[in-house]
Structure 1
């Protein structure tokens, strides 16, 4: 019979605070913890109970060790050596958070008769305990003589080959004994951790928090600290909810192990930390609340994010060794973006081949913003349209346009771009996006060499709209007659189609409506307002009066193609794209009987457009009818339309 020699009193020593000790322990219990509601087979984290043969302690495996448990490398009754770990207080008890380990024996019988420390008593570090550890032999395997129950050291046997795959066939044995032997890393003699020397009784949280990797963070830790570089800092955003008005900002951290996490601050904490945090600098962050990451807004590869609290600290730390990179990228080739899901967040890098002038558009919330588009190409043989919004247009956008106009085609790295699949695939900026012009790293240098060596003239079809036939693959072209004949819009969800048509008529007497100008958070109310007896505009939704109102398009128009005619409705953005000016400006022209009002209406008639239509059946009173709404308006580009038709002919010919 063979028994493994575990580290005597190793559990108690570890819990006493000596994280330099590398105890050999046995896993006597192992189970999954479904942090995000995943199934048992895909547990997010794993808990365990570890034993030194006499005492046991609860333990939690860091996220990076979860795959070892899922694959069966870590098993119940296996023997491991704790290489790196931290101790956390959870209520009245302490647990061991295991960051790194080495599997010594994949599976064997339970050793000893271990009991929880609450049953055996928690041993304080003292000289007698130190002597016990100093006098302990090197930890190996002992052979047990079943005839006289005496033990003897095993000698002249092969060393146990440690196997992370947990394959028992890798155990080297001597034919006479058939006993597996392993030699773990030499254990240091146990002594009280330096922070606890000569302190007597330790008050809770007296010792400073130990810096741990971002990947080891979990909500079960009492105290922690991370050292990381700020890679991105968001703007201050203001909001309004049932609790009142508030403000929030967030910043992203990257540590030397490549772990990333987002940190968020609200209200008073924003005032405290906003000016402290600077992009590119290194900080030690401690004491915060870990909560599940909101994946709709947080694209980082981490299941958690940090919410700073009153006791949190963010301290500037000198970057002495430069071990923390300034940024982390996961570049995707442009040809891969074509199959990416809508709204996916990813990194791309390419050479800027063209930049369009910036334009001003009005968002759905009534606010105006800047928009600028450009094209990137890379070595995958494809190109993509990148849309810059807001400050990106005036900052990086203006610089890129000047460079391209001067014949310089810069390399651009896009960190955290958002995929859009409207009429082809494109990439747009969001609040957390970062743009790097001619960055100094290997991918950029390789791309520059490829472009200068012939890539400039290489054919790179675009995966974006209206540039090549590739754009047509992601849109559904229909005729006006097909909308009715195919009963579009009659299902549970609306149908989205693109129609090439001509606008032949407007209802000019009611082209806009008076809208509420009140801002609710970062959105405009936009409900219809009426003029009261006091001369002010009244909004029933906001229950307020205003001196002035806004004007928003509500165009009723008739469109026609070769198959027939139909009525459609165009709201604010689509109306502005059709008429080329805001509803307020056009309303002022009409009030002054300015002839330019009629000219604006006539200029867009009998022009060819690509109209993106939303088709949905709605109920008006007791009558159900199909409503067609214009979501997007684009002038027909003869070159792009010709390519679409040629591609359509080519694909049709291939069927015969």
Structure 2
């Protein structure tokens, strides 16, 4: 054999086939094997790679975890590759026991098939092990020392797994919830576990709640065993795993002080100004500074239960702000004593209330002042300059919110009306136009002065009553809600805008405009006329609207920007240079 080709670990297929579980020595070694076949298959809507691995004597069927897909998709590994199997598990798929490859190191990309190996299936029960032969191998032998307690990776769990123990971090724990149906009443809670291979949701009922709820704390690592593995009920479970755990009264939970090989919580942060481009009802991770904390309130649910709520105003370095709602115990226990903390939120839901809003859900998690680089950068920015910045809030149908005006993709009104494809969800576009006419009948509405509310208030004669806050105010705070005809050289369209749009168009507060409207009709008409014939850049969204069984497209303004002629000229200059560089 070529001196540069590592020698295969002879006999390891037999060792794996007869293994009785993670306590066997073979589970803590990194045998060197050859991939003799590799092909992609679709399973449950995911691409998985099925491979056949050889030790030169036997071959075994194996599946590769999705985290390793890129090795095969990018051509780094494939048929003929020599690999070091870093970690593996044994699972049952479609009635057959199969090896699940959890970690691989590529030693040689491709060589001719070594030996003449024969198929070996996994035994249903363990047998006497043969010693491993690795003499002459130049590859690695052991990726990890033998763990102090044998564990199975979460990726390896299935309903056919027996006598397993997982070592995982708790990333989320819900409140205890009560339920009632025809079969009786009870209580439950859910918890999300994560290790380096996957996440899985666990749910405990009744006695399991009493025995386990107080033992499990977010952020800590535990050994978990003697739970039942079931198929995941996707209606109640949004964790990316086909299985879930049923925590029972005999389920064992033991805190683990050795937190090696268990990853920290992973985030995929979205900047606040990019939320307008994310689908409604989707979930995302955000990190931001809390600039304001609202008072605690309560609402009645559809089941006539009352739950607490509290709104936080979040800001980040994009100079955008957004409201996030806490519910239940989190709303009640959140205390405004952190002095504008940085909070990392995982899995919060994106809503469309007044443009964009965020909300904690049962699977969401928040970490106050996390020790991660993104948090340290935000802390430094806010303490140095952020605290004095003016932030653009998501309001109305996104007016003035985080949508981006793209000068390079400006479309004409004629093109928008003729060619814009309107899906069920809003379609975003950028345009430039001149205001020709503003409807002056009702340019603003009386709003609740509570900064976290803004709902319309009712004149009762004794004051202005807010049904949401259940308060009566001496006077309202007016907020813009305007409709205006905007034109370019190709056509005209009616655009709707909210408070920030009105501020940009009229250059005065809605309170001042309404006072003029109510007391000086001539001056009000002059203001409407003066505010027309100004040109703006718009970031808009088009959405189908149905009224009295008639469907039409409505155009809402997400952001309005007065023309900056220096920027416009520089953009035109760059276009000229691009086409005529000399």
Against the structure 1 CA distance between its residues 316 and 116, is the aligned structure 2 distance closer, same or farther, given a 3 Å change threshold?
same
Deviation at 1:12?
0.7
Where does residue 323 of structure 2 map in the other structure?
385
Where does residue 9 of structure 2 map in the other structure?
7
Task: Write the deviation string for residues 245-290 of structure 1: whole angstroms up to 9, x where unpaired.
Answer: 55432112244x4854322224554454334433344321135455
Deviation at 1:100?
1.9
Q: Distance in 1 between matches of 2:402 and 2:9?
A: 66
Deviation at 1:8?
3.0
Deviation at 1:234?
0.8
Where does residue 211 of structure 1 map in the other structure?
151
Task: Write the deviation string for residues 15-48 of structure 1: whole angstroms up to 9, x where unpaired.
Answer: 333334543333333343433234xxxx1x2233
Q: Distance in 1 between matches of 2:75 and 2:229?
A: 29
Against the structure 1 CA distance between its residues 637 and 14, is the aligned structure 2 distance closer, same or farther, given a 3 Å change threshold?
closer
Q: Distance in 1 between matches of 2:291 and 2:142?
A: 61
The 3-state SS of whatever aligns with 1:277 is: coil
Preserved contact between residue 282 and residue 349 of structure 2 (Cα < 8 Å): yes
Q: Distance in 2 between matches of 1:92 and 1:299?
A: 26
Q: Distance in 1 between matches of 2:106 and 2:173?
A: 41
Where does residue 306 of structure 2 map in the other structure?
368
Where does residue 651 of structure 1 map in the other structure?
536
User: 2:218 pairs with 260, 279, 295, which one?
Assistant: 279
Preserved contact between residue 204 and residue 246 of structure 2 (Cα < 8 Å): yes
Task: Write the deviation string for residues 347-383 of structure 1: whole angstroms up to 9, x where unpaired.
Answer: 3232332333344433444433334333222222222
Matches within 5 A, 1:247-266: 247-255=187-195, 257=196, 259-266=198-205
Q: Distance in 2 between matches of 1:417 and 1:66?
A: 28
Where does residue 389 of structure 2 map in the other structure?
458
Q: Distance in 2 between matches of 1:29 and 1:364?
A: 55
User: 1:58 pairs with 61, 82, 96, which one?
Assistant: 61
Structure of greater relative contact order (alpha carbons < 8 Å, 6+ residues apart): 2
TM-score by length of 1: 0.55
Against the structure 1 CA distance between its residues 380 and 577, is the aligned structure 2 distance closer, same or farther, given a 3 Å change threshold?
closer
1:315 aligns with 2:253: yes
User: 1:225 pairs with 156, 161, 165, which one?
Assistant: 165
Where does residue 361 of structure 2 map in the other structure?
430
Task: Write the deviation string for residues 148-206 of structure 1: whole angstroms up to 9, x where unpaired.
Answer: xxxxxxxxxxxxxxxxxxxxxxxxxxxxxxxxxxx333699xxxxx99xxxxxxxxxxx
The 3-state SS of whatever aligns with 2:27 is: coil
Task: Write the deviation string for residues 295-326 of structure 1: whole angstroms up to 9, x where unpaired.
Answer: 675555x3345222659733213414677577
Preserved contact between residue 333 and residue 348 of structure 1 (Cα < 8 Å): yes
Root-mean-square deviation (CA, aligned residues, Å) is: 5.3
Q: Distance in 2 between matches of 1:34 and 1:227?
A: 29
Against the structure 1 CA distance between its residues 97 and 333, is the aligned structure 2 distance closer, same or farther, given a 3 Å change threshold?
same
Deviation at 1:442?
4.0
Where does residue 118 of structure 2 map in the other structure?
115
Deviation at 1:608?
7.8
Against the structure 1 CA distance between its residues 608 and 186, is the aligned structure 2 distance closer, same or farther, given a 3 Å change threshold?
closer
Preserved contact between residue 88 and residue 103 of structure 2 (Cα < 8 Å): yes
Q: Distance in 1 between matches of 2:94 and 2:270?
A: 45
Preserved contact between residue 15 and residue 87 of structure 1 (Cα < 8 Å): no
User: 1:562 pairs with 402, 427, 441, which one?
Assistant: 441
Q: Distance in 2 between matches of 1:22 and 1:607?
A: 69
Preserved contact between residue 203 and residue 247 of structure 2 (Cα < 8 Å): no
Provide structure 2 residue ranges, at least 5 long, that are not aligned to the other structure: 20-25, 406-416, 427-438, 443-452, 468-472, 483-496, 508-530, 538-561, 569-582
Preserved contact between residue 412 and residue 439 of structure 1 (Cα < 8 Å): yes
Q: Distance in 2 between matches of 1:12 and 1:215?
A: 23
Preserved contact between residue 17 and residue 120 of structure 2 (Cα < 8 Å): no
Deviation at 1:55?
2.3
Q: Distance in 1 between matches of 2:298 and 2:122?
A: 72
Where does residue 503 of structure 2 map in the other structure?
642
Task: Write the deviation string for residues 119-141 of structure 1: whole angstroms up to 9, x where unpaired.
Answer: 99999547xx54xx56x7524xx
Q: Distance in 1 between matches of 2:142 and 2:379?
A: 52
User: 1:342 pairs with 256, 260, 280, which one?
Assistant: 280
User: 1:138 pairs with 133, 136, 139, which one?
Assistant: 136
Preserved contact between residue 285 and residue 312 of structure 1 (Cα < 8 Å): no
Task: Write the deviation string for residues 427-468 of structure 1: whole angstroms up to 9, x where unpaired.
Answer: 122234444444555433332322222222223322344896
1:414 aligns with 2:345: yes
The 3-state SS of whatever aligns with 1:19 is: helix
Would you say how many aligned residue pairs link Structure 1 and Structure 2? 452
Deviation at 1:230?
2.2
Where does residue 487 of structure 2 map in the other structure?
none
Where does residue 139 of structure 2 map in the other structure?
184
Q: Distance in 1 between matches of 2:382 and 2:142?
A: 56
Preserved contact between residue 299 and residue 416 of structure 1 (Cα < 8 Å): no
Q: Distance in 1 between matches of 2:243 and 2:333?
A: 30
